[in-house]
Amino acid sequence: MPANWLSITHYPSPLGPLAVVTGPAGLCRLAFPGEKPDAPPSYLAQKFPGATINVDENGSSCREVLRQLDEYFAGRRFSFSLPLDLRGTPFQLAVWSALQRIPYGTTCSYSDIALVTGRPGAVRAVGQAIGRNPVGIIIPCHRVIGKDGRLVGFGSGLATKEWLLNFEESNLKTNQTLTGR
């Protein structure tokens, strides 16, 4: 493959098919069902100019991503350890980093993330950065809820966010029961 390539594989998740986009430096996009891999418009072209995009039917370009997704959806993986190729502003990268520290099966508010990033007054900007998270699930933006506990703001719909939160909570309870904790 040329040095500047992206590969798209479709992963059959319980939510529907996820589009997994990888490149030489790692996972760069995970699109939910109904979402195009280049959404928002021209995402891949803008973030990876000149990249050759190939469809990888058998997933050979992203075996580790697929393995970790399998484990996650089987309730055996609580965090991901994948090389990521994230393209964003320094603030977006700081927000995405903070999201990765939210424990499995728990939630926090947009205000909490603003505090963690050192910008307590930037709640709206945090929401915008979260909305631009290119690898949902892997970077668990679904774990961020409104300060009053309501489910708000999820690009793939609140039903998907609710499903992910319920899934994680259920797996956490099952795991605690099995381990006696």
Instruction: Output the CA–CA distances (angstroms, integers) from residue 99 to 43, 55, 137, in the order listed.
Output: 21, 29, 10
The catalytic residue positions are 141
Residues linked to residue 22 through DSSP beta bridges, in sequence order: 7, 27
Q: Provide the terminal-to-terminal Cα distance of the chain, rounded to the nearest Å.
A: 48
Cβ-contact 12, 33 below 8 angstroms:
no
User: Do residues 96 and 87 make contact, with C-beta atoms less than 8 angstroms apart?
Assistant: no
